[in-house]
C-alpha cells in the first residue's frame, strides 16, 4: 500500500524546505518559524522515547541546535524535512537513553554506596555517617545524568567545564543539570529531616 500525499502535505514540506534553506543561510527568523511549525511533533517523539519531560526538553534543544548547524546537509532526495528532523531527534533520544543506562550500570559497578561513605560529599556542610546514608538515598532519586554530573564534580573534583568535556555536553547544560540535581538533592534532604 503506497502512501498518498495530499496537496497540503506537499505545500507543508515545500514550506519547511524553504525555511530550512533560509536557516542554512543563517536566517534566524526562518529558523524561528521552522521551530514553531515543528517543535511540538519533535518534542512528542522525543518524550515518547525518553519519558522524562526535563530530558525531553533538553534533547529537543540539542536536536534543534543540530538542525541549525547541519541545515545545509539536508538532502530532499532522501525524504521530507520533517522526516529528516524526526530521524535526528529520534537518534538523539535513543543516545540519551543509552547514556542513562550506561551511567546507571557504571554507578552500580563502582559501588557508589561505598564511595559515598568512604569519601563524603564535600557539599556545604560536614556530613556525618547518618547524613551520608541520607545523601546516598537521595542521590538515587536523581536522574542518572544529574547524579553522574554531580558525582564527577563533587566526588571526582572536576570543574564544570571538565564535566562538560568528559560527557561531551554543552557547558550550560551541565550547569543546569548540576544546579537542578543539587536543588532536588537539597529538597530530598530537607524531607529526611
* Same domain as 132, residue 91: no
Annotate 22-48 with b (16+ C-beta within 10 A) or e (fewer).
bbbeeeeebbebbbeebeeebbebbbe
Structure confidence at residue 59 as a pLDDT band (50, 70, 90)? very high
166 with 152: CB under 8 angstroms?
yes
Give the tens place of pLDDT for each residue, 122-179: 443 444 455 666 777 788 888 888 888 888 777 667 788 888 888 888 988 988 888 8
What average pLDDT does this structure show over 17-44?
A: 93
Task: For residue 141, give its domain range.
Answer: 128-192
Tell me what pLDDT residue 96 has. 86
Query: Is the confidence at residue 107, as pLDDT, over 50?
Result: yes
The C-alpha angle 173, 51, 48, rounded to 5 degrees, equals: 110
> Which of 120, 147, 163 lies at the terminal end of a domain, its last residue?
120
> Which of 68, 103, 120 lies at the terminal end of a domain, its last residue?
120
Question: DSSP label at 41?
Answer: H
Tell me what pLDDT residue 141 has. 84
87 with 78: CB under 8 angstroms?
no
Provide the number of structural domains found in the chain. Answer: 2
Task: Give the mean pLDDT of the chain.
Answer: 79
What average pLDDT does this structure show over 88-109?
A: 81
Distance CA 126, CA 155 (A): 14
**CA dist list (Å): 76 to 6, 17, 80, 129:** 18, 8, 6, 61
Which CATH number do you get for residue 144?
A: 1.10.10.10
Query: Is the confidence at residue 53, as pLDDT, over 90?
Result: no
Tell me what pLDDT residue 35 has. 94
Instruction: Locate 80 and state its grid cell.
Output: 521530507
Residue predicted with more confidence, 137 or 38: 38
Amino acid at each position: 500500500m503506497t502512501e498518498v500525499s495530499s496537496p497540503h502535505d506537499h505545500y507543508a514540506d515545500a514550506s519547511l524546505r524553504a525555511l530550512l534553506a533560509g536557516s542554512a543561510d543563517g536566517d534566524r527568523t526562518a529558523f524561528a518559524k521552522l521551530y514553531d511549525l515543528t517543535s511540538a511533533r519533535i518534542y512528542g517523539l522525543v518524550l515518547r522515547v525518553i519519558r522524562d519531560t526535563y530530558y525531553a526538553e533538553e534533547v529537543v534543544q540539542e536536536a534543534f541546535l543540530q538542525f541549525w548547524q547541519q541545515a545545509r546537509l539536508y538532502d530532499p532526495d532522501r525524504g521530507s524535512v520533517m522526516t529528516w528532523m524526526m530521524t535526528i531527534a529520534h537518534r538523539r533520544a535513543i543516545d540519551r537513553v543509552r547514556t542513562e543506562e550506561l551511567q546507571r550500570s557504571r554507578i552500580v559497578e563502582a559501588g557508589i554506596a561505598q564511595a559515598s561513605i568512604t569519601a563524603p560529599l564535600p557539599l556545604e556542610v560536614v556530613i556525618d555517617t547518618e547524613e551520608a546514608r541520607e545523601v546516598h538515598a537521595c542521590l538515587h532519586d536523581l536522574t542518572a545524568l544529574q547524579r553522574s554530573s554531580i558525582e564527577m564534580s563533587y566526588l571526582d573534583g572536576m570543574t564544570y567545564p571538565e564535566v562538560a568535556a568528559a560527557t561531551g555536553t554543552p557547558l550550560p547544560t551541565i550547569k543546569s543539570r548540576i544546579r537542578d540535581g543539587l536543588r532536588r538533592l537539597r529538597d530530598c534532604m530537607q524531607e529526611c529531616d
